[in-house]
Amino acid sequence: MDINGVRRILNEKDNFTILTHISPDGDTLGCGFALCRFLRSMGKKANVINGDKVPHRYEFLCEGYYPQEFEEECVVAVDIADAKLMGDALKRYQEPGAVDLCIDHHISNTGYAKETLLDPTAGAAAMIMYEILSGMGEITKEVAACLYTGISTDTGCFRFENTDSRAHMYAANLIETGIDFYTINRKMFELKSRNVAAAERAIVSQMKFYLNDKVAVNVISLDTLKKYGVELAELEGIPSVALTIEGVAAGVTVKEKAKGTYKISVRTTDELNASRICSDFGGGGHIRAAGCEIKGELCDVIDKVVAKISEYI
Amino acid sequence: MDINGVRRILNEKDNFTILTHISPDGDTLGCGFALCRFLRSMGKKANVINGDKVPHRYEFLCEGYYPQEFEEECVVAVDIADAKLMGDALKRYQEPGAVDLCIDHHISNTGYAKETLLDPTAGAAAMIMYEILSGMGEITKEVAACLYTGISTDTGCFRFENTDSRAHMYAANLIETGIDFYTINRKMFELKSRNVAAAERAIVSQMKFYLNDKVAVNVISLDTLKKYGVELAELEGIPSVALTIEGVAAGVTVKEKAKGTYKISVRTTDELNASRICSDFGGGGHIRAAGCEIKGELCDVIDKVVAKISEYI
């Protein structure tokens, strides 16, 4: 489906349920609340539903939001590549035919929705949402803040290779509405509690280097989380730390999910393909950031990942 | 002088000396080498002169650069607010009338040059340089990399409040030339050696909090620099660390210059004016980032700064 098709649906229908993905990030929530606010300003009814709670840092996106009552007429999924990513709480929307429209930028989109607007060249789904909405009416400051958040988070504040001139052009237009992008970016990329900062330092001070210092590994144990009183989700800055060290081509973060079960996150520079490394363990993701799960003793798990990386280095 | 006046000078003259400021940053060097490359591509002669050595991270800006021989016809200062900022090595250009043209964005510009193009609304001098050059001819990839570096560094990669839609528009156009902005930003904002990372962690783990945790102070001692084998200039990431802690309104970095002499850097959120705090100690700077020098015992120096901040909090 193309942009005009999406605009037609948004114009024709009146009562929308908007779905965002679990472990919500700035792009899915930015898209969801931008669309919801825009539809409501058109006099339509719309709700945003997520299987997880909105994390603290993203709460400003739903400021003034309240759930509305209506008979669902159109279900729109934003930034959701796979119906499974709606999570167990939204199982009913995982049924075939439950989602009317999907707006996404993941090349891996499974095509679960009746209609899909997919633009894998967009660094953020919020860029596609900007294109849709800016052709339908005025982008208010509130909507602009949501869209900017999506673009900024998914492009790493215009640093990642997925940033293109479109991302900058849309940002230029969005900040013209007077949004407080300084505070948005501080919330997205900088602000952390003293506990989180202390936990990060403790973890990174134990960083281990392998393969001539080309690989750096950070371990987040359940004990560390407990000691500093922080949640795993609060330590999302850790995976990017290893790649800030000169000479490191692969940064591995080993997160203890439960005793003997580890979630592995791999970040790479252009020397290595993170997705390929993780897919050998049944995981996957992007070229520069991917993940997988491995069971076993911590030292064996690290050995396995490092050995796998050594095959590709 | 307006942009057309500057373009006229650049067109009329043939042999240019371009001056950049001491403790060079991405903006002054980006402007300098962008202008130099552009003038040389016009068949003119041009050199960039700096009182300090170009720091390692900025070396890519002068890739392929070599000094040319010519009789100096026009001296251009870029991003230099005050003749003093040329440093002792360039004393001869500090004489009245020695600089023909200054291109700058500092509102504090002292007007030392014969002609000045000043645009204090530009977040980076490189934005002014982009406006000048893009109207004169094609911006090559090499020139674009220099200009992008200037814009990105002075806007904190589009995060600081001085970022405007112009900054994003120019970035959009510049990255269209195919520059490797990912690597540029990694060099500018992320990459550090293991020693620097270890020194940063050691310093930040000693961060002290004052005034109900509204003020955070980091101390960089000569002993720490020696212990980790790093230069003070390599720890330029430290001043921004304090403000990443939730609730901190002023981040103070105390750098030991010599026994009993401390360089103070103050960073603030929108709750406080860093420039006012520092000017009370004979220093100055911007609203959110300023500096000064204080002599005394370390603990007294910290007490003085904290006491001064408490007057404004």
Per-residue pLDDT, A59: 96
pLDDT value of residue B56: 87
Question: What pLDDT, in 10s, does the model give residues B57-108?
Answer: 999 999 999 999 999 999 999 999 999 999 998 999 999 999 999 999 998 8
Hey, what are B58's tokens? 């900025």
- The owner of tokens 């002023």 is B250
Distance CA B77, CA B104 (A): 8
Tens of pLDDT along B104-122?
A: 999 889 999 999 999 999 9
- What's the pLDDT tens digit per position in A238-289? 999 999 999 999 999 999 999 999 999 999 998 999 999 999 999 988 888 8
- Give the pLDDT confidence of B33-42 residue by residue, as tens digits: 999 999 999 9
Determine the average pLDDT of the residues in A66-82: 97
pLDDT tens across A8-54, in order?
A: 999 999 999 999 999 899 999 999 999 999 999 999 999 999 989 99
β-bridge partners, A285: A290
For residue A296, pLDDT over 90 is answered with yes
Best of A236, A245, A286 to disrupt the B interface (most B CBs within 10 Å) is: A245
pLDDT above 90 for A202: yes
Distance to chain B for A288, nearest Cα, Å: 12
User: What are the residue boundaries of the structural domains of chain A, listed by start?
Assistant: 3-189, 194-312
CATH number of B3-189: 3.90.1640.10
Subunit contact B175:A168, Cβ cutoff 8 A: yes
Name which of A163, A166, A186 is nearest B181 (Cβ-Cβ): A163
What's the mean pLDDT in B280-305? 94
pLDDT at A284: 85
CB-closest option in B157, B159, B244 to A191: B244
Shortest distance, CA B239 to any CA of chain A (angstroms):
13
Q: How confident is the model at residue A233 (pLDDT cuts 50, 70, 90)?
A: confident
A64, pLDDT greater than 90: yes
Q: pLDDT confidence of B192, banded at 50, 70, 90? A: very high
Residues of B in contact with A197 (CB under 8 A): 204, 244-245
Among all residues of chain B, which has the CA nearest to that of A244? B191
Tens-digit pLDDT profile for residues B160-191: 999 999 999 999 999 999 999 999 999 999 99
> Which of A158, A161, A194 is closest, CB to CB, to B158?
A158
Strands (E), B51-114: 74-78, 101-104
pLDDT at B158 over 90: yes
CA proximity to B42, closest of B13, B71, B79, B62: B13
* Nearest-CB residue to B244 (from A171, A181, A190): A190
Q: What angle do CA A185, A186, A189 make, to 5 degrees?
A: 75
Res B108: pLDDT: 87
ipTM of this predicted structure? 0.90
What length is written for chain A?
313
- Determine the pLDDT at residue A285: 81
Q: Which residues does A187 contact at the CB level (< 8 Å), separation at least 6?
A: A57, A60
Taking CB atoms and an 8 Å limit, are B158 and A160 in contact across chains? no
Cβ pair A157:B158 closer than 8 A: yes
Q: Residue B167: what pLDDT?
A: 98
Across the range A185-207, mean pLDDT stands at 94
Query: B230 to chain A nearest CA, in Å?
Result: 14
Which residue of chain B is at minimal alpha-carbon distance from A161?
A: B182
* Residues contacting B290, CB < 8 A, separation 6+: B265, B266, B274, B275, B277, B278, B279, B283, B284
Q: Does domain A194-312 have CATH number 3.10.310.30?
A: yes
State the best of A168, A236, A241 to mutate against chain B, taking most chain B CBs within 10 Å.
A168
CB B97 within 8 A of CB B114: yes
CB pairs A-B closer than 8 Å: 97
Q: Give the pLDDT confidence score for residue B166 in this predicted structure.
A: 98
Do residues B75 and B93 lie in contact, with contact meaning Cβ atoms separated by under 8 Å?
yes
User: What mean pLDDT comes out for the span A107-129?
Assistant: 96
The mean pLDDT value of chain A amounts to 96
- Specify the length of chain B in residues: 313
What distance in Å separates residue B97's CA from the closest CA in chain A? Answer: 39
Residues A280-302, mean pLDDT to the nearest whole number: 93
